[in-house]
């Protein structure tokens, strides 16, 4: 039991992880309040566009309500649709039309879950917000800093999506699920007979469940999509054909380019000014150095002139690779891998680790030409 009856807000998505999160906090004796962010729908969105089972769907809201009812805790579904459209969906579109590849789940955490929802939790007198993320938070007495750490289950670790959390947010957040594996969470859900115990995981972006980003952007931002068309060129300068829009391609992409060539072609660079898409062999997309912006330092502050050795992750599903991070004036950093990596992509997050601890992270801005 907790020493005092602290009030905490449980961010409930309607999935098994946040459901068990709520159950664990109730068992620990906290005064729990469940909240779900109603995120979708955007302007003139068809019913089929947002899966009912995704975290923005009606079924998930109902599942969260049923779990809260089972646990006998107050529950509220809060309308964040306007904020979601402006801070996540519009930013998602802007990035694609700028020839970059965004990470909307990180934006949602940064702009909504650990900002708007966090503030709502503080407004009702909660001391902390709890989510179902597979991560852990510890306080380092020696440095006086809150530290973001990997969860117990290495296959489900979600620290990559949480790198932008501030020290204040970390101090006011609990990740009870991070101390368990996914299989253990399923067992706890079954033991509590929660309605979400067997619910499958969502794999795609919640507002684009079919994964067709280009179709989504063309439907909701038709004028920008029309202006995004251009040429496909080989890295040697040879013009190979046309593409329907830079929003339809990403660095490293092979399939769906629509051009014939004697060997497999991969997207190596996107020129947002000319709308030209450059293609070449897979090795043509290999790079070692790049710049990141808006760096958030967690384990310790990055001081310009220093060099930090760490393992570096440039995509959520890619393994980390060793390299060095050089903090720069203005909040950015110069990142150098020990060995060339394929498809380092502007717009994606870059997160660096020392062991199980998150040193920090930022957004990939510019990739070296060599």
Q: What digits encode the pLDDT tens for the residues 187-199?
A: 999 999 999 999 9
Q: How confident is the model at residue 45, as a pLDDT?
A: 47
* Contact predicate 150/133, CB 8 Å: no
* Contact predicate 118/109, CB 8 Å: no
Beta-carbon count within 10 A of 274 CB: 12
CA–chain centroid gap for 173, Å, is 17
- In the structure, how many helices (H) and strands (E) does the chain have? 10, 17
Q: How confident is the model at residue 59, as a pLDDT?
A: 85
In angstroms and rounded to an integer, the radius of gyration of the C-alpha atoms of the chain is: 22
CB under 8 A, 24+ apart: contacts of 311-314:
311/352, 311/353, 311/354, 312/337, 312/350, 312/351, 312/352, 312/353, 313/160, 313/350, 313/351, 313/352, 313/353, 314/341, 314/344, 314/345, 314/348, 314/349, 314/350, 314/364
Q: What is the mean pLDDT of each run of 10 residues along the chain (370 residues)?
A: 77 97 97 94 49 63 96 96 95 97 95 95 96 98 98 96 98 98 98 95 81 94 97 95 96 90 93 96 96 98 96 96 98 98 98 98 91
Q: Which residues are catalytic?
A: 108, 206
Q: How confident is the model at residue 44, as a pLDDT?
A: 45
Could you tell me the domains of the chain? 7-191 (3.40.50.620), 230-280 (2.30.30.280), 286-367 (2.40.30.10)
Q: Which strands form 239-243's sheet, in the order they lie side by side? A: 239-243, 230-234, 277-280, 266-270
- Tokens 């602290």 map to which residue? 6
Burial class of residue 358 (count of CB atoms within 10 Å of its CB; 0-12, 13-18, 19+): buried
* Contact predicate 332/292, CB 8 Å: yes
**Residue 246, token pair as written in the block:** 């830079």
Beta-carbon count within 10 A of 75 CB: 20
> Residue 241: CB partners within 8 Å, gap ≥ 6?
231, 232, 258, 259
**Residue 22, token pair as written in the block:** 């709520």
**Exposure letters 318-355 (e unless 16+ CB within 10 A, then b):** eeeeebbbbbbeeebbebebeeebbbbbbbbbbbbbee
Digit-coded pLDDT (tens) for 40-68: 764 444 444 554 445 556 788 999 999 99
- Euclidean distance between CA atoms 369 and 240, whole angstroms: 21
Q: How confident is the model at residue 41, as a pLDDT?
A: 62
**Residue 27, token pair as written in the block:** 């068992």
């Amino acid at each position: 039991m907790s020493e005092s009856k602290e009030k905490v807000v449980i961010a409930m998505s309607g999935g098994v992880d946040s459901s068990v999160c709520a159950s664990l906090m109730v068992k620990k004796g906290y005064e729990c309040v469940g909240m779900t962010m109603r995120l979708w729908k955007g302007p003139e969105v068809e019913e089929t566009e947002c899966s009912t089972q995704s975290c923005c769907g009606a079924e998930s809201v109902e599942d969260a309500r049923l779990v809260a009812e089972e646990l006998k805790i107050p529950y509220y579904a809060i309308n964040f649709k306007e904020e979601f459209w402006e801070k996540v969906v519009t930013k998602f579109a802007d990035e694609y039309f700028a020839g970059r590849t965004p990470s909307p789940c990180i934006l949602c955490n940064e702009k909504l879950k650990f900002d708007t929802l966090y503030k709502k939790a503080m407004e009702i007198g909660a001391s902390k917000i709890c989510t179902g993320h597979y991560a852990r938070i510890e306080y380092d007495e020696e440095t006086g800093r809150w530290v973001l750490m990997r969860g117990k289950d290495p296959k489900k670790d979600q620290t990559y999506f949480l790198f932008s959390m501030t020290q204040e947010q970390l101090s006011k957040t609990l990740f009870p699920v991070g101390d368990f594996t996914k299989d253990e969470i399923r067992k706890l859900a079954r033991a509590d007979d929660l309605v979400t115990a067997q619910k499958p995981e969502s794999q795609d972006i919640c507002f684009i469940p079919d994964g067709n980003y280009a179709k989504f952007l063309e439907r909701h931002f038709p004028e920008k999509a029309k202006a995004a068309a251009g040429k496909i060129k080989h890295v040697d300068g040879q013009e190979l054909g046309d593409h329907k829009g830079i929003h339809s391609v990403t660095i490293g992409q092979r399939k769906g380019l629509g051009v014939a060539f004697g060997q497999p072609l991969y997207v190596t660079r996107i020129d947002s000014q000319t709308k030209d898409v450059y293609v070449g062999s897979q090795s043509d997309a290999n790079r070692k150095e790049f710049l990141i912006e808006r760096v958030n330092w967690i384990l310790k502050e990055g001081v310009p002139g220093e060099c930090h050795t760490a393992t570096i992750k440039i995509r959520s599903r890619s393994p980390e690779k060793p390299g060095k991070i050089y903090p720069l004036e203005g909040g950015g950093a110069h990142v150098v891998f020990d060995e060339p990596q394929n498809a380092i992509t502007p717009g994606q997050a870059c997160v660096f680790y020392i062991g199980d601890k998150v040193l920090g992270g930022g957004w990939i801005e510019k990739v070296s030409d060599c």
